[in-house]
Amino acid sequence: MIITVTLNAAIDKSLAVPNFRLGRRHRTVDQRTMAGGKGVNIARTLKALGQPVIATGFAGGATGTHIVEQLTEESILNDFVRIREESRTNTSVLDPTTGEQTEINERGPAVTEQEVELFRDKLIYLARGAAIVVFAGSLPRGVEPELYASLVRDLERMELTTVVDTDGEPLRQAVRAEPDVVSPNVLEAEELVGHEFASEEDRSVAVREIAALGAREAIMTLPDGCFAQVLVDGQSRLKRARIEPREPVAKRGSGDAFLAGYLAARYEGRPVDHCLRFGVACGAESTGRLGAGLIDPREARRLMGDVELSLVELPAEVG
Ligand SMILES: Nc1ncnc2c1ncn2[C@@H]1O[C@H](COP(=O)(O)OP(=O)(O)OP(=O)(O)O)[C@@H](O)[C@H]1O
Ligand SMILES: [Mg+2]
């Protein structure tokens, strides 16, 4: 079983609005409402890929009820802690004429200490039947930035793989708790290592730095694939996976699809190269769809053939 944790779950409203202009009145030509938040998106993709998954996290108020109902309607197993404050709705406007996407994320509920402890208990209980636990997305208001780090530590003694996909201070702290995998995008990785990347070499060095901070494996995604410091037969190796970038319909959630693909393949016990190829293919496939986490598994498998993989040799050791 794979558990996905979404502490800031949401209802995601995606609107397609041609010629979107500020200060004007518009009509949508397409719209879709789905349960969202990164962990929920990852659960959706894992389910589509045929993997056993339970989505957990916090859900509050009428929007929280809606999130749980939508998941249940999609046959995604879920077990959320109910909180007093109302879960958020995130709205994204996609202009099909320009491909531009505008996102407005609500502030989201504050969570109390007692609700956090209820969640901790639930997670430890659920994790007993799990092989992988994925923490994804931002933290809700009111919790300490080290929450992911402390949850990763709680799971340390259990024989499972911990994965963290977040940014800022929660990521910085989580990396130090030595999770098995972290998967920042370029911006998140730049923030973590504290400088911008100007070249392929900068990016490779950064991924190795992130692993040196504590993560067993560090994968940095970018629109043309990923850099990954991964373990191959116990040895740390730096790999570069590349795919020809496409004109995306909706880019949002492609990192979530990447991670779901990578973890689905890992869960099946595939070799690392296969896992990276499949992750990149799933990320690429998902850019063709409006709505985060949606994917066509057959098309994703076909795209694996378009992913080029290479081993990166770095000129010198870091630090
Ligand atoms: N334009 C594109 N064409 C093809 N594949 C893409 C494109 N953009 C993203 N991808 C795929 O999606 C993966 C993740 O991309 P990216 O690093 O941009 O995600 P992200 O910023 O984490 O997205 P999000 O957090 O919204 O899910 C990449 O590894 C790649 O496989
Ligand atoms: Mg991401």
pLDDT in tens, the chain (319 residues): 999 999 999 999 989 999 999 999 999 999 989 999 999 999 999 999 999 999 999 999 999 999 999 999 999 999 999 999 999 999 989 898 998 889 999 999 999 999 999 999 999 999 999 999 999 999 999 999 999 999 999 999 898 999 999 999 999 999 999 999 999 999 999 999 999 999 999 999 999 999 999 999 999 999 999 999 999 988 999 999 999 999 887 777 899 999 999 999 999 999 999 999 999 999 999 998 877 788 999 999 999 999 999 999 876 554 4
Query: Which option is the CATH number for 2-311: 3.30.499.10, 3.40.50.300, 3.40.50.1260, 3.40.1190.20?
Result: 3.40.1190.20
Assess whether the C-beta atom of 77 lies below 6 angstroms from ligand 1. no
Q: Where are the domains of the chain?
A: 2-311
Assess whether the C-beta atom of 45 lies below 6 angstroms from ligand 1. no
How far does the centroid of ligand 2 lie from the alpha carbon of residue 90, in Å? Answer: 16
Q: Which two tokens stand for residue 140?
A: 């809700």
pLDDT tens-place string over residues 261-288: 999 999 999 999 999 999 999 999 999 8
Can you count the helices (H) and strands (E) in the chain?
A: 10, 14
> Cα dist. 5→261, 262, 302, 307 in Å?
17, 17, 29, 29
All residues with CB under 5 Å from ion ligand 2: 185, 255
Q: How many degrees, rounded to 5, is the angle at CA 134 between CA 132 and CA 140?
A: 150
pTM of the model: 0.94
Closest Cα to atom 22, ligand 1: which residue?
A: 255
Assess whether the C-beta atom of 39 lies below 6 angstroms from ligand 1. no
The number of the ligand 1 atom at minimal distance from the alpha carbon of 292 is 27
pLDDT tens-place string over residues 65-93: 999 999 999 999 999 999 999 999 999 89
Q: Report the alpha-carbon distance of residue 99 to residue 49 in Å, rounded.
A: 27
